[in-house]
Amino acid sequence: MTNLYTDKRTLVTGGLGFIGSNLAIRLVKLGADVEIFDALIPDMGGNKFNIEPVKKDVKVTIGDLRDEGKIAKAVRGKDIIFNLAGTLSHIDSMENPFSDLDINCRAQLQLLEACKKLNRGVKIIYAGTRNQYGKAKYLPVDENHPLEPTDINGVNAIAGEKYHLMYDKVYGIGAVSLRMTNTFGPRHQMKHSKQGVLNWFLRQIIDGETIKLMGGGGQIRDINYIDDVVRALILAGASKNANGQVYNLGGSALSLLEFSKKAINILGRGNTRNIDFPKDRKNIEVGDYIADYKKITKDLGWEPKTSIDEAIKKTFGYYKRYKKYYW
Amino acid sequence: MTNLYTDKRTLVTGGLGFIGSNLAIRLVKLGADVEIFDALIPDMGGNKFNIEPVKKDVKVTIGDLRDEGKIAKAVRGKDIIFNLAGTLSHIDSMENPFSDLDINCRAQLQLLEACKKLNRGVKIIYAGTRNQYGKAKYLPVDENHPLEPTDINGVNAIAGEKYHLMYDKVYGIGAVSLRMTNTFGPRHQMKHSKQGVLNWFLRQIIDGETIKLMGGGGQIRDINYIDDVVRALILAGASKNANGQVYNLGGSALSLLEFSKKAINILGRGNTRNIDFPKDRKNIEVGDYIADYKKITKDLGWEPKTSIDEAIKKTFGYYKRYKKYYW
C-alpha cells in the first residue's frame, strides 16, 4: 500500500473535517502529495486544528466546491480525489432542504463537471452513507437493499452517489462510493450532536452530563472507528477494480445504550437517562441498522480492525489532550 | 371514475405541456376544478394552444415552481396535484446539468415544501421516467430494477421521485410516482427532437423529410399513447392505495425502425435512413427498453388500450388540422 501512494497527487475535499483530516494525515504518512479543500462552513465540522500534525506537509485551500474557479484549479493534475465534503445532518436537511441540496447535489456536480472538463483520468472516492437506505427492510443491509431514505439528506446523498457513478460510466472518470455507517473517533466536531451522536455521547461523559437516550437507546447502529474508515478509503483509492462500485462499510452492531454503557465503564463515570423522541426526530428515525460489508471484504480485503473498547479509549485520550480546540 | 373527480380541486403543473394539457382536458370532462401552473420555459413544450378546447374552463397561472409566493397560492386548497412540470431531455441535462438540477430537483422541493407548510392533506402524482433505470439489466424492467441512469436527467428524476415518496412517508402527503416510458400523441411540441423522438418522426414524415435512425433504429422502446397515460394519471390520483407506490407504465414494445415503418405505411409516404450515433448520444444510449407494468394492472386496473396504429392515425389527424400552432 505504501508504494501505491508515494508521490500520488491527492485532493481531499472536506479535508479539515472529521474523516477528511484523519485521511489527510494518513496520506501524508504514505508519502502522498496532499491538497485539502474545505469551505469551513460554520458548524459543519471543519477545524484547522484537525491537521496540526501535518500542517506543514499539506496544501490547504479554503474554498467552496461551488466556486468554479477554485475547484477547477484544485482538480487539475490530481491522481485521486477523496470527496468528503458535504453535510450529514438529518434534522438540518428537513429544516433547510435547499441548503442541503446546494451542498450535497450542486457542489458535487460542480466538482464532477470540473473533472470532466479538466481531468478525466482522475479517480474519485465518494462518501456515501447508510442514510441512503432509510428504514431497513431486512438485516444486515447489503448494497442491493432498496434506497428509501426518510430525510432530504438521504435523497441528496443518493443523487450525489449516482452522479459519481454516472460520470464513471459515461465519461470514464473512475468513481467509487463507500456507504459509511456511524463513525466516531478523534477530530470529530464536538459542538453539537447533529453530525454524529457517538462523539456527542463521549463529550457528555467527559463533561459529567447525563446522556439522553431517545426512546431508551435500544436502536442498533453499526459502528466504525475512524482509522478503519480511513483504511477503507485508502484501499478504495488504490484499487482500479473498485471503479463503478458501491461498498457498504460496517463494524460493530451495538445499541446506543450499549455504546454508552461501554464508554461509561471505560471512563469509570457517567450516566444515561431515557427521553421520548422529539417529534421531528421520530418522523425520520430509521430504527435498527446493521450493515452487510462482505462485498468490500471480498473485493478489497477490508474489514474493521479496531475493537469498540479500544476505539473509545483512543477517542477519550485524544479529547483529554486537545479538548480546548474542540469545545 | 366520473364521480370521483366531480368538483375536485386539481392543480396540473406543466399543464400547458404535452401530458399536462391532455390531462387537464380530461379533468374538465370529469367535472374537476382545474388550475394549470406552467412556466412556459422556451423549448420545454408548453403551448397555450394545447388547452384551446378548455381554455374557458380552467384557470391558468403562468409561473415557475421556484417562485415561492406563486406556488404557495396555487397549492392552497387543492385536493390533487398532478406534478408534470420538469424537463426530460437527456442531452440537455448533460450539457447543462445545473439547469436540470434546478428544474427537476429544486423546483420539486419547492412544491413539496409548499404542500408541507400549507396543505398536507393533498395528494400528488409525480411524473417519473424509465430514464431512472438506465441500461436495462434484464427485460422486461420491473419497478425493482436497479436505478443506474446514464444521464443527469435520470439522476435528478430519481431524486425528484424520492423527495415525493419521502414527503409521503414523513409528512403524510399522499404521493405516487408513475415511471413513464416513451409517450406520443397530440399536443406534444414539434419543434425539436429533444423531448421525445416519436412525435419528431411523425413530423418528419408529414414534412416529407427522411427519418434519421441512429444506429439503424433497432433499439426497442416501450411506447404509450397519450390517452392511456392520462388514464393512468387519473386512476393514480383517485386511488388511496396507490399512495407511497411507484408504478411503471408500458405499452407496445417496438423498435424505432418498426414504429417509423408503421407511421410511413399509415400516411402512405416517407422514408428512413440509417446514421451513426453522434458521440454525445452514444455515451448515454440505453439500448432496448421494455417495461413490466403488471403492478399497476394489478393494483389500479390500468392497461394501455390504444393500438399503435390507431394512435398514429389520431396523432397525424391532430397535426394535420392544427399544424400551424406547432411548427
Per-residue pLDDT, B1: 59
Per-residue pLDDT, A280: 77
- Model confidence band, residue A88 (pLDDT cutoffs 50, 70, 90): confident
Per-residue pLDDT, B189: 96
B60: left (phi over 0), alpha (psi -120 to 50) or beta: beta
All domains in chain A, ordered by first residue = 2-185+224-250+291-305 (3.40.50.720)
Q: pLDDT per residue over A270-294, tens digit each?
A: 999 999 988 877 877 888 999 999 9
CA distance B321 to chain A (A): 42
**Which residues on B lie below 8 Å from A154 (Cβ)?**
166
The contacts of residue A71 (CB under 8 Å, 6+ apart) are A37, A63, A65, A110, A111, A114
A169/B contact by beta carbon, under 8 A? yes
- C-alpha cell, B315: 396523432
Measuring CA to CA, how many Å separate A38 from each of A17, A80, A255? 8, 16, 33
Q: pLDDT per residue over A57-70, tens digit each?
A: 999 999 998 899 99
Mutate to test the interface with A, among B111, B162, B164, B171 (most CBs of A within 10 A): B162
CB A25 within 8 A of CB A231: no
- Residue B48: name the closest of A210, B39, A302 by CA: B39
B94/A contact by beta carbon, under 8 A? yes
Contact A155 B171 (CB under 8 A): no
Backbone angles phi, psi at A224, to 5 degrees: -120, 145
**Which pTM was predicted?**
0.94
pLDDT (average), residues A31-50: 94
> Which stretch of DSSP H or E encloses residue A185?
none
ipTM of the complex: 0.91
- Residue B10: name the closest of B108, B296, B31, B2 by CA: B31
Per-residue pLDDT, A237: 97
- Model confidence band, residue A1 (pLDDT cutoffs 50, 70, 90): low
| Angle of the A68-75 helix axis to the A107-118 helix axis, nearest 10 | 50
Instruction: State which residues of chain B have pLDDT below 50.
Output: none
CA distance A87 to chain B (A): 17
Per-residue pLDDT, A87: 77
Distance CA B288, CA B218 (A): 8
CA distance B226 to chain A (A): 29
Residue of A nearest to B134 (CA): A166
Measuring CA to CA, how many Å separate B299 from each of A261, B15, B303? 48, 26, 11
